[in-house]
Amino acid sequence: MFINHLFTYVSIMSKKYDIDESHGLSHSMNVLNHAQNIYNSEVSKNPYLESQQKIIYTSAILHDMCDKKYVDETEGIQSITDYIKDEVTPKELDVIKTIVKTMSYSKVSRYGYPMLGEYMLAYHIVREADLLSAYDFNRCIIYGLHKKEHCVTIIDAFLEARKLFNVRVLRYSVDGLFVTDYSKELSKSLHEDAIKSIQLWEQLHQDKDIITID
């Protein structure tokens, strides 16, 4: 089963490059699920997406396996290519590689969207699925604990995560980063959930009896 093949790869790569849970298996699963929901909401209006479903789901699962935070991007792309080249067509492979190389927030902020023609909506589905997953505030704290040398405590990681959310995640809708109706609507509730999560962590941060060891 192809999807099992893909998740096996994520597991192997996560162990090899110490990709923590914020970008590993659970994140790949969450992005896939969001991509499924966006796809299901769009396919009736855009039936041509049926022929691109494999591209969408593969990109959603593998998108962080070439993330420069963990692995050299060129090396990661080549590894993905070697792993799936016998399971997809050359055209599908080219589109998958383009999607995963250009969909990150930082790449979009710097270079804008790639020109993918008939695959443009597929690109947005995967990109938006990743953005929707980014509203998970605890995931951001986990990343801080794993990758930020100055986040020596969970409170440090919380403060870093709150800063990132204020300048980036909580601005996704304002900055017009969602193009599908599904993502525009879901992002509203995820935005509110993120704010509530931040408020809970702020309570812990302010409660000295909870965070201080005598």
Question: 162 falls in which pLDDT band (50, 70, 90)?
Answer: very high
Does domain 1-132 sit in CATH 3.40.50.620?
no
User: Picking from 49-58, 103-112, 204-213, which range would have the lowest pLDDT averaged per residue?
Assistant: 204-213
Using CA atoms, how far apart are residues 144 and 150, in angstroms rounded to an integer?
Answer: 9
C-beta neighbour count of 107 within 10 angstroms: 14
Q: What are 115's two structure tokens? A: 């020109």
CB-CB contact of 160 with 148 (8 Å): yes
Amino acid at 152: V
pTM of the model as a whole = 0.93
Using CA atoms, how far apart are residues 118 and 95, in angstroms rounded to an integer?
Answer: 10
CB-CB contact of 146 with 100 (8 Å): no
Using CA atoms, how far apart are residues 57 and 67, in angstroms rounded to an integer?
Answer: 17
pLDDT at 75 over 60: yes
Question: 63 falls in which pLDDT band (50, 70, 90)?
Answer: very high
CB-CB contact of 177 with 148 (8 Å): no
